[in-house]
Amino acid sequence: MKALSIIRCIPGIALAACIMAFTLMPAETNGQDYNDLSRYIMNPSFVGEYQEPAHVPMVIFDNDEDALSGEWHSSPYYRTLDGKWKFRWDKSPFDAPAGFYLPVFDHSEWDEITVPGTWQMQGYGYSLYRNVPLEFSPYDPPNVPMDFNPTGSYYRTFEVPEHWDGRRVLIHFEGVKTFFQLWINGEYAGSNKGAMTSAEFDITGFLLPGTNSVAVRVLRWADGTYLENQDMWKFHGIYRRVYLWSAPKVHVRDFFITTLFDNGYRDATLSIEAWLTNQSQEQVHNLTLKAELYDDSGNMITSFSERQSLIESGGNAGIVLSRQVPAPRQWSAEKPNLYTLLLKLEDAGGNSLGILQHKVGFRQVEIIDGILHVNGVPVRLKGVNRHEHSPYKGRTMDMKVVEEELKLMKKLNINAIRTAHYPNTPAFYRLTDKYGFYVCDEVNVECHQGENWLPNVPGWEKAMVDRMEKFVIRDRNHPSVIIWSTGNECGLAPAHWEMAARARELDPTRFIMHQSNHPNGDAPFADILGTRYPHPAGLAAVGDTTQRPVIMGEYSHAMGNALGHFDEYWEVIYSNPRLQGGFIWDWMDQGVLFDLVTTPDRSNYGHQAVLMGNPEILPGRSGENNKAVGLSGLDDFIELTPTPAQDLRTQVTMETWIYPRGFVNHNNLIGKGYALDLAQISPSRVEFTLHTHRRHSLQAELPANWNHNWHHLAATYDGREMRIFINGQFAGSMPATGRIMRVRNPFTVGKNHMINNENWAGYISNSVFDDVRIHSVARSPDMLGWNRDAAPADDHLVVWLDFAQTDTTGTFYSYGSTPMSGSGSMNGIIAFNRVPEPEAWQAKRSHQPVHFEALHLPSKRIRVHNRHHFTGLDELETTWMVKRDGVTIEKGSLGLDTPPLEQEDIVIPFRLPADHDMHYYDLFISARLREDAPWAKAGHEVAFGEFHLNRTQVVDPLLIPPARQWEGSSALPLRLTASGDLLIVAGDEFEYTFCNSEGKMRSLKFMGEQLIESGPLLNVSRTPIMNEVSIWGIAEFDSIYRWGLDSLVHELKYYEIIEESAERVIIRYDVTSYSMVRRDMKFDNRFLYTVSSNGMIQLDHTVNPSIQIPVYPPRHIEWLQKMGLSLTLSPAVTNLEWFGKGPFETYPDRHTGAKTGLYSVNITDIEIPYIIPQDFDNRTGVRWGKILDGEGRGFAFWGDETMNVAINPYTNLETAWYPYQLERSTKPVLNIDHRVTGVGCTPVTARERYRVYPTEYSYSLFFLPLYDKY
C-alpha cells in the first residue's frame, strides 16, 4: 500500500519555493552532468557497459549432493543481496545526491527499502497504468525527460567469504527497471538497459578485505523505455533478485543443452555445447568436462566426458559432449519428466573446478506438414498471456504464489503460457519445466505508441537484437520453452529480421512467432502464424488459407465479464489440424492495493472524494494553515463518487484556486466526461467545453503571470451563455443553449476520464488545487470564491473541496485507468488475488482434454474423444450418473482406456424411468484424476459432459418440483377487492396487490410476509459490462445510454379485469415503456395476470418494440442488452434457490463450464467478482427458482422456457466504478429475463446468435407461494 506524501515548508523558505519543489520544471543538477548522463540514457546503441556475456543462470556447487538438490543456498559460492537496502527517491537524477555511492557518504538518514521490490509499492514515486502510449511527453525517441525523471539511489554493504579469495566474484541483477548504474566500493562498475533480462558484472577487482559496499542508481526513464511500452502498470526499481556468486578463474561460462530423438521417437541423443573461460594469468591444459545424467530418483543414467587440450590466458573455448540415451522418459506438458544434469569441470590433475546443475527434458519440437509437433505428436496450445503482476508488490514475484498460479492453470486445463510481453523471472521457467507448460517466450520489445515507425528508425537495431540475444541465451535450456517471440506490437522492421536470425543462430531447435498488429501477428520470417483477435469465422478462414501452424498470439480478450463464445473458438480449432490453439488475453486482473485516502466534501451533500495516485498535501494559497493538493502529472487526481446530485443538466459553475507549475500537456482541471471540461489547452489559453446537442467550446487568454502564482479560475453556464472568469475578472463568453449531456462519468479534479484515459499520451495535470467548488447554478461574479472565503451553504453548492483534511479510511484495489471506455488492466480470467473468475470455468471446459459427444441418447450411445496428446484415459477415473430433478438416482463407472488423440464409442447402461416426461432427467459423465498429480489431488475433475434426456420440455407447471406440493390441495375461493387505484386479490394465506395506475404488481404477501414490493416491469438494459463500453469494440452501451434505454419510463395505457370468479381472476395491463430521452423509442407491453385459487400467478407477457434508430451517433442501437422483467424484493427475502446452471454466474455465450443442478445462495453472500462494477450474477438455463425469507416463506417461479435469473444486491451498481463505492440494498432486485445478450470478448462483440434484437417477444412466467422450511 502506498502512503500519501505530505510536504511541509521549512520556516524561512518561501511558500512558492516549497510548492515549486515538485514541479516538472528545470532543477539544479547537483553535480550531475546532463551531457554525460544523456550519453547513457538517450542513446539506443548504448545497451550497457562492463557486463559479462549473457549465459544460463548458474551457481557452482562443490559436491554432488548439493548439486543434485539444485538449491542455490546450499552452494558455498552463492550469497544473496536481497533484503534491506538504504534508499532515497528523487524526482530527477539532478536532485539525487552526488557521491552517494562513496563509502564515506552518510546514508544514516536514508530510508530502508526491500530488494527485490518496486519503489512505487513501497511508498515512493508514482505508479500508473497506460495501455498504448507512454506516460511522459513529448513522444520523442530516444529523448526522455531529464529534469523530471524519478530516480532511486540504493546502497548497502556486504561481506565476501574468505574462501572466495583467489576466485572471480560476480554480481548478478535479474531485473532492474529501467536504466541503472553500479558502483562497488565507490568505483564505477558498469550499467545496463533492458529491464526484463539479467545483467552481470565481474567485481573481483573492486573488492576489499572485510566490508564492501554496493551502490545502484536507477532511472525511471531512458531510451529503453520506448521499447518497454507494454500494456501494464509502470513499476520501477530493483524488482528481481540480486546476488553474488563466485567461480574459479577457469570455469564453464555457459552451456546449451539439446535433445534429438531418432525417427521412432524412442531413443534420444543428449548434447551439451559448453563454453569454457580462462581468466587466470596462465595457459591451462587438459581440462575435462564430464556430464552425468540422473533420473528423478537420484540414479545415474549415463556419464560421458570430453577433453579440452588448451585455453590461452584470457581466452575461451567451446566443447561439445554427446551421448545416446536409450528410451528416456519424454518431456511434454502432460508428462513433464525431468532428469538432472551435472556438469563437472576438472583440471589436468583431476581436481574439481566446480559442478553445475540443470534440469533436462527430452523434448523435440518440429513442424511437420504445416503442423506443430512435440515428440512427433501434433499438439494444441490451450494458453494464456501472463503478466508478472502482484497487487501487493507490483512487478516483484513471490515464487510460492507463482507456483500456486501454475497449479491453478493446470486445474483449469491450461497447458501453455505466453510471457507477455517480456522474459519472466528465471525461476518461473524452472516451474514451467516442472509442472508442464508450453511456453512462448517473448522478448522485451514493445513500442506500441510508435509501433509502425520507431523500429524502422536507424540506430535502434542494436538495442533490439541485444534484448533478443540475452533472453534466448538465458532461457534456451528449458524444455518448456518451445517458441521464441520477436516482440509485441512493435511493427515489422529490418531489426526484427536480425532478431529472428540471431535467435536461430543461438538456438536452431525452436520456432519463431512475431506479434505485431500490422501485419496481424505475422512476419515473413515467422514459422508460426500468430493471428490476433479474430472472430471464430475469421479464424476458420485463416486456417483454410495458410500452410503454417496457426496459434493465436492473443484472442478472447477477457476484460471484465467476458470470454463469450469461447466454445465456438475451440469448435473451429478442432475442425482444422493447422489451427493449434492460442493464448487468451489474459491470465490475471492487474489490480493494485492502495490506501483509500479521502478528503471531506464540505457541501451539504457530503460526497466521497478520493485522492487517486500519490498527490502531495501542500500549503494552500493562504499559507501553512491552509492546505492544497499538488498533482505530479503522473496520474494523480481527485475523483468523486458519482451521485444523482452531480447530474447537472441545466446550469453549472466550476471554480477553483489553482497554482500552475508549468504547462506540460493538455492540462485538465475539472471535468465530467464529455459533458463538462475545464482545461488549460496551451501555455496561454484555457478552454471551457460542454456538450448539449452539440459541442460548445469557449476559450480565454491566461494572464502573463499564470505560472507559479495563485489564480482563481471559474466557468459558468446558465442555459443561454458560457462564461469564464479569471481572478474575478470577466475573461470571455459565448452563447450556448440546451441541456447538458447526460454522462456516467463522475466529477474529477486534475483529470477528465474520457480524455485522460488509458490511451492518453503523456502527462495529465501537474497543478496545485485549492478550494474546488461545483454549483448546480450559474453563480454571478460576486458569488464566486474569488470574493468569498466561504461558499453559500445552500443546496446549489454541490461539491466543495478545501483539502483541509485528508483521511486514510481503508484500502482499495485500483485498476489505474478509465472504465468508462474499457479498462485494459482488467482482462484476467482470475482475479488479482488468484481466485478464478467465472470466465475461468468456461476456459476449463472449452479446453478440457476429454470430450463427450451424444451420438444417440435414446440408445444411450456416447462418443468419447480423448484429446490428450500423451495421456490415455486409463489414467483417469471416468464415471456417469443420472439425475432426476437434480437428484442422483443412478450411477456407475466406465473402464475407459482410449489412447491419446483417439475416440471410442460407448453405451452407458442407464435406465430412464417411464415418467421421464414428468421430470427433468440429466446424464452427467465425469473424468477425474485416478492418482495424485503434482498440481492436484486424486479425484480432481478434468472434464465432464452433460446431456438432457427429456424428449420434450416439461411444461405443466404443476409438474415443476416446487409446485408439486400444491397439487390436489384444497384452495379457498379468491376474493377481489378495489381500493382507489389498487386491486387486491386474496386467497388462502396469500394477498396480491396490483396498481391500476402503474400497470404492475405493487405487493406479493404470503403467510403475512411481504415478499415482493414492486414489479414486474419491463427491463431491457443491464449495468454495462466492460465490453459494452470499450472504445476498442463498438461501445454499444453508449447508444443505449445516450438514448435513455437504460432507464425506461412506464405509462399505463389500458387495463381491464377480464375474469373474476372464485377460481380465477384475470387482469390485463397495457403498458408503454418509453426511453427517458425520446418517446419515439418505446416498447408496447401487454401483461396478462391469471391468478388461480391455489395462489399461482400465470403472467403472459407480450412486448413489441418500436425503436426509431437515430442517424446520430454512427454506432446505432442494433440490439438490446436483454428482454425481461425486474421485481423489487422486500428486506425479508434472504435466499435464492434455483434449478439451472451454476453455482457461478453464466451467460448465453458462456455457460457450458457450469453444470445444471440444484443450487442455493444467501443474498447477503452475493458479491460482484470483478474489480470494476458491472453486470454480474446472471444464471442461464434456469428451470425454476425459489425466493425465500428466513422462515421458509417464499414463492417459486418458472417459465414456459428456461429463464435467465439474477439478483442485484446493490443500490448503485450502475453508477459505481469501484467496489468501495457500492452500497448494498435492503431491497434487492430480482431480474427474470426471457432473453439476455451474451458477453462477447473485446474487440469481438457478442455473436449474432447471442444477441437480443428489438423484435416482438411472447412468453409466460409462473409464480406460486410456498412454505419451504430449511
pLDDT tens-digit readout, 145-204: 999 999 999 999 999 999 999 999 999 999 999 999 999 999 999 999 999 999 999 999
Q: In terms of DSSP bridges, do strands 1097-1107 and 1257-1267 run parallel, antiparallel, or are they unpaired?
A: antiparallel
Q: H/E element holding 541?
A: helix 536-544
Tell me the CATH number at 1158. Answer: 2.70.98.10
In a domain, 993, yes or no: no
Domain that holds residue 223: 31-247
Q: Using N-to-C axis directions, what is the helix angle for 461-475 and 494-506, rounded to 10°?
A: 30
Residue 962 is predicted with a pLDDT of 59
CATH of the domain at 450: 3.20.20.80
Q: How many CB atoms lie within 10 A of CB 1190?
A: 12
What DSSP letter does each residue of 1042-1108 carry, written as one string? HTTTTS-EEEEEEEEEEEE-SSEEEEEEEEEEE-SS-TTEEEEEEEEEEEETTS-EEEEEEEEEEE-
- Which of 551, 584, 617 is the endpoint of a domain? 584
User: Which residues are annotated as catalytic?
Assistant: 489, 554
Cα 182-188-194 angle, rounded to 5 deg: 35
Which is nearest to 696 in space by CA: 722, 718, 678, 728?
A: 722
Q: What pLDDT score does 8 carry?
A: 32
Q: Flag whether 977 is in a domain.
A: no
Choice between 327 and 693, residue whose per-residue pLDDT is larger: 327
Q: Note whether 1125 and 1069 are within 8 A (CB).
A: no
Whether 411 and 341 map to the same domain: the answer is: no
| Virtual torsion, Cα 661, 665, 671, 673, nearest 10 deg | -160
* 163 shares its domain with 50: yes
Q: Does an H or E element contain 410, and which?
A: helix 399-411
CATH number at residue 98: 2.60.120.260
> Do 575 and 605 have their domain in common?
no
- Check whether 765 has a pLDDT greater than 50: yes
**Where are the strands (E) in 1093-1175, listed by range?**
1097-1107, 1122-1129, 1133-1142, 1155-1162
Predicted confidence at residue 958, as pLDDT, reads: 57
pLDDT of residue 1189: 94
Supply the CATH number for residue 907's domain: 2.60.40.10
Q: What does the pLDDT look like over 339-355, one tens digit per residue?
A: 999 999 999 999 999 99
Task: Please name the residue that has the C-alpha cell 404488481.
Answer: 1001
Q: pTM score, two decimals?
A: 0.95
**Apex 271 CA angle, 270 and 277, nearest 5:** 145
Q: Do 937 and 1026 lie in a common domain? A: no
Residues 666 and 550 in one domain: no
Give the confidence band of 914 by pLDDT, cuts at 50, 70, 90: confident
Our separate counts of H helices and E strands in the chain read: 12, 73
Q: What is the pLDDT of residue 841?
A: 98
**Number of separate domains in the chain:** 6
Predicted local confidence at residue 794, as pLDDT: 83
**1043 pLDDT tier (thresholds 50, 70, 90):** confident
Percent of the chain with pLDDT strictly greater than 90? 86
Average pLDDT on 633-640 reads: 95
d(CA 616, CA 357): 50
pLDDT of residue 10: 32
| Residue 822 pLDDT class (50, 70, 90 cuts) | low
Predicted confidence band of residue 1038 (pLDDT cuts 50, 70, 90): confident
* Residue 819 pLDDT: 67
Last residue of a domain, one of 528, 550, 584: 584
- Average pLDDT on 1231-1244 reads 95
Res. 1110 pLDDT band, cuts 50 70 90? low
- Whether residue 1040 is predicted with pLDDT greater than 90 in this model: the reply is no
Contact present, 387 and 590 (Cβ < 8 Å): yes
Rounded Cα gap, residues 559 and 584, in angstroms? 11
Whether residue 400 lies inside any domain: the answer is no
Residue with cell 450474477: 1177
Give the DSSP letter of residue 939. T
pLDDT-derived band at 759 (thresholds 50, 70, 90) equals confident
Residue 1240 lies in a domain: yes
Both 1173 and 1254 in a single domain? yes
Within-domain flag for 448: yes
Q: Are residues 652 and 748 in the same domain?
A: yes
CA atoms of 846 and 863, how far apart (whole Å): 17
Residue 376 within any structural domain of the chain: no
pLDDT for residue 12: 33
Are residues 479 and 603 located together in one domain of the fold?
no
Is residue 1164 pLDDT above 80, yes or no?
yes
Asked if pLDDT for residue 1025 goes beyond 90, the answer is yes
The predicted model gives 548-576 an average pLDDT of 97
Q: Is the pLDDT of residue 755 over 50?
A: yes
Q: 742 or 82: which carries more pLDDT confidence?
A: 82
Is residue 1176 domain-shared with residue 1030, that is, in the same domain? yes
Residue 995 lies in a domain: no
Which pLDDT belongs to residue 18?
Answer: 44
**pLDDT above 70: residue 1:** no
pLDDT range class, residue 417, cuts 50, 70, 90: very high
Whether residue 341 sits in one domain with residue 261: yes
728: in domain: yes
CA atoms within 13 A on the CB side of 303: 8
- Enter the DSSP assignment of 601: -
Residue 1061 has pLDDT above 60, yes or no: yes
What pLDDT, on the 0 to 100 scale, is given for residue 66? 98
- The DSSP 8-state label assigned to residue 409 in this structure reads H
Residue-level pLDDT at 793: 66
638-652, 792-806, 892-906, 1119-1133, range with the lowest pLDDT: 792-806
Q: Are strands 616-620 and 5-6 parallel, antiparallel or unpaired?
A: parallel
For residue 5, what pLDDT is reported?
42
**Which pLDDT belongs to residue 430?**
99
pLDDT (0 to 100) of residue 476: 99
Based on the fold, state whether residues 448 and 574 are members of the same structural domain. yes
Query: 139 and 190 share a domain?
Result: yes
Amino acid at 826: M
